[in-house]
Amino acid sequence: MGKKRSMVSSMLSNKCPRCREGDLYVQKGVFPLRRMMTMNERCPVCGQKTELEPGFYYGTGYVSYGLSVALAVFNIVWYVVLIGFSWKDNSMWYYLGITIAMLIILQPLIMRLSRSLYISFFVKFDPDAKDNVYGAVEETNAVEEMEEVTV
């Protein structure tokens, strides 16, 4: 048995929330940008489905927005402490420029992190997930069969 990850470290490293070991994304980094959001269909370790339902990740826009606002607030705190705001020397405009540049540069990471956080809200950690690979697949298949019957 490998090292146990905490929930926070598994979210920050984009790991499966069920087993906290498998990668959510096909590629580890954000480059090339064209394929940065390509996710594994299932966790390679425990078999957990990564898209729980069609359109599941639409809610990540709210998480991404929250992370962006948190980053802007963090920037304003350190900027006021270290430099201070003043309309006379245009430091307010420097703050806005720094924050906008940071948000643009960090946007790929924020998007990936928001998906990782969002799926972690809905999938429960299972310490025995590696041993019960077929349990996740069977549960998913049963739900899909029920959806087919009700449609």
Q: What is the pLDDT of residues 84-114, one digit of tens each?
A: 888 788 888 999 999 999 999 999 999 999 9
pLDDT reported for residue 78: 93
Provide the domain count of the chain: 1
Backbone angles phi and psi of 43, in degrees to 5: -65, 130
Q: Is the pLDDT of residue 147 over 70?
A: no
Identity at 60, one-letter amino acid code? T
Residue 43 lies in a domain: yes
Residue 2 lies in a domain: no
Residue 122 lies in a domain: yes
Cβ burial 24-35 (10 Å sphere, 16+ → b, else e): bbeeeebeeeee
Q: CA-to-CA distance for 101 and 104, rounded, in angstroms?
A: 5
Mean pLDDT, rounded, for 122-150: 66
pTM of the prediction? 0.78
Task: Of 145, 129, 141, 143, give the one whose Cα is nearest residue 44.
Answer: 129
DSSP secondary structure letter of residue 83: T
Report the range of poorest mean pLDDT among 2-6, 18-22, 73-77.
2-6
- Look at 33 and 119; give whichever has higher pLDDT: 119
Q: How sure is the predictor about 77, in pLDDT bands with cuts at 50, 70 and 90?
A: very high
Task: Determine which helix (DSSP H) or strand (DSSP E) holds 12, and give its type and residue range.
Answer: helix 7-12
Q: CA-to-CA distance for 79 and 131, rounded, in angstroms?
A: 49
Residue 145 lies in a domain: no
Q: Is the pLDDT of residue 1 over 50?
A: no
Residue 149 lies in a domain: no
Residue 119 lies in a domain: yes
- Provide the domain limits for residue 103: 9-134
pLDDT reported for residue 12: 92
Q: CA-to-CA distance for 46 and 134, rounded, in angstroms?
A: 8
pLDDT reported for residue 144: 55
